Amino acid sequence: MNSLNHLQHILIGPDATDAGESRREYMTRVVFVMVGVVLCAFTLVIAFGWGVGVFGFEGVAIMLLMDVPIVAGWWLAQHGHWRLARYIPIAVTFGLALYGTYFVGLVTTLVLFYVLAILLAAMLYGGKAQWIVLGLSILTHLVVGWSRTRDPFNNLLEIAIMVSGSFIGIALLQWLSTNQLQQVLVSARASAVELQAEITEHKRAEEALRESEDKYRQLFDLESDAIVLVDNTTSRILEANAAASALYGYDREEWLTMKNTDVSAQATETRRVTVEGGTWVPVRYHRKKDGTVFPVEITGRHFTWQGRSVHIAAIRDITQRKQAEEALRESERKLRLSEEHLRATLDYAPIGIATTDRSGRFLEVNRDFARMLNYSQEELCHMTFLDITLPGDLEKSRANTQALWNGDIPSFQMEKKYLRKDGTVIDAFLSATLVYDVGRQPSSP
């Protein structure tokens, strides 16, 4: 993997800044890859030929001498000296052509080396450089060829025309194809850079997704309510948090093999609500792993996740709430019974009992009080104690009552006369005290 990354840096990671410089540096790196591979292949072939006696050691030495500057140029290009390094492959190729022209004289082979030198000049420098190399190639071939023939009239003109025509025609073709090759390589580099950017962005997205999943997983597990994710179609539990495991007694691996109906003591109702898409169940009875049945409140939300219809259910144990509600109902029942018992006791007491407000209006009267005055209980509740007090007792009754409301006295007793409904008068003994409410405020005497 490190070697691949290194090669990727070599081919798509130029050190130049502007577009032209970046292209030339890129081409320099590509050329060193190509020339290095070709020279290694030639070196191996010649070395094998020397081993079997086809070539002399001179050929092996020449190839090794050519390999050394290529390696040096590679090192220069890798360390940012690509402008200097790009001279080397042109010089090496031209040197091979010169060597062949002088010592071998194989015109077809030499044309290929000269054309390669021209092609490299076009790729690394542009149009002017390739024509310079072309001129040098023609001149070198003629001069060296002249020196080898020793006869200026021995096919020199034909060779010059053939070589010059071949060089010019091939150079033109190579010039055109080199421009296309540069465009292809630059396009390939752009595609490689774009692919690298996409891979980098994909890795970033994966990392962001992983971080998001980790964050929501932590939030999921830190939630105090039991939470389960359920497939609406199969009722399978797809996920459960730590609170669900603590509440029900199942670990996460067990949850993932279960359905939501497996923990419900009302499985039919649970399945119905799942299908209908219910979002709130105030009371449902569930069953723990140890068999304990307990009440829960469920809040749900339905949505699509990974192409499937699911819902997430937040489950809260309401055992204590139900117990508190039951205790409250029992307390209210007892209070109601106590009030009814007290009311019955007062209503059927053998003496007259009544309560009034601060203005003296009757709030409640029992049966004996109403019977004594010959009024109904309803009639008296629309009257005040002043309405049934004789004028001679009004002043004393008002004074005692006011003192009682003011807190000057805790209670009082007095003999007084009452006026009955039929106009007759009866004597009675009155005993009065304050009745306090739950806030210790006086309610009535």
Among residues of the chain, what percentage have pLDDT more than 90? 25
> What pLDDT, on a 0 to 100 scale, did the predictor assign at position 256?
93
Token pair recorded at residue 139: 């001149």
Higher pLDDT, 95 or 149: 95
Among 65-79, 250-264, 340-354, where is mean pLDDT lowest?
Answer: 65-79
Mean pLDDT of 405-409: 88
Q: At residue 112, does pLDDT exceed 50?
A: yes
> What pLDDT, on a 0 to 100 scale, did the predictor assign at position 296?
95
> What pLDDT, on a 0 to 100 scale, did the predictor assign at position 8?
41
> What pLDDT, on a 0 to 100 scale, did the predictor assign at position 348?
83
Mean pLDDT of 197-225: 70
Tens digits of residue pLDDT in 120-135:
666 666 656 656 766 6
Across the chain, mean pLDDT equals 77
Residue with tokens 């009155």: 430
> What pLDDT, on a 0 to 100 scale, did the predictor assign at position 10?
40
Token pair recorded at residue 145: 């060829």
3-state secondary structure of 126: coil
> What pLDDT, on a 0 to 100 scale, did the predictor assign at position 376?
92
Tens digits of residue pLDDT in 287-297:
999 999 999 99
> What pLDDT, on a 0 to 100 scale, did the predictor assign at position 37?
76
Phi, psi of 224 (to 5 degrees): -75, -30
Tens digits of residue pLDDT in 24-36:
666 677 777 777 7
Higher pLDDT, 97 or 177: 97
pTM for this prediction: 0.43
Those residues whose C-beta lies under 8 Å from the C-beta of residue 33, and which sit 6 or more positions away, are: 10, 11
Mean pLDDT of 196-201: 76
Phi, psi of 350 (to 5 degrees): -80, 10
Backbone dihedral region for residue 441 (phi beyond 0: left; psi -120 to 50: alpha; all else: beta): beta
> What pLDDT, on a 0 to 100 scale, did the predictor assign at position 6?
44
- 223-322 folds as Beta-Lactamase (3.30.450)
> What pLDDT, on a 0 to 100 scale, did the predictor assign at position 5?
46
Among 204-208, 210-214, 367-371, where is mean pLDDT lowest?
Answer: 210-214
Cα separation, 435 vs 429, in Å, equals 19
CA distances from 89 to 45, 72, 120 (A): 20, 11, 7
> What pLDDT, on a 0 to 100 scale, did the predictor assign at position 298?
93
> What pLDDT, on a 0 to 100 scale, did the predictor assign at position 15?
46
- Residue of 63, 68, 166, 64 lying closest to 110 (CA atoms): 166
Tens digits of residue pLDDT in 230-275:
999 999 999 999 899 999 999 999 999 999 999 999 999 999 998 8
Among residues of the chain, what percentage have pLDDT more than 70? 66
- DSSP H or E stretch at residue 21: helix 19-52
CATH 3.30.450.20 domain span(s) along the chain: 223-322, 348-444
Name the most confidently modeled range: 83-87, 183-187, 277-281: 277-281
Cα separation, 91 vs 125, in Å, equals 13
Among 5-14, 65-74, 309-318, 323-332, where is mean pLDDT lowest?
Answer: 5-14
> What pLDDT, on a 0 to 100 scale, did the predictor assign at position 123?
64
β-pair partners for 264:
286
Q: At residue 191, does pLDDT exceed 70?
A: no
Cα separation, 47 vs 69, in Å, equals 19
Q: At residue 182, does pLDDT exceed 60?
A: no
> What pLDDT, on a 0 to 100 scale, did the predictor assign at position 289?
95
Q: At residue 155, does pLDDT exceed 50?
A: no
The CATH code that applies to domain 348-444 is 3.30.450.20
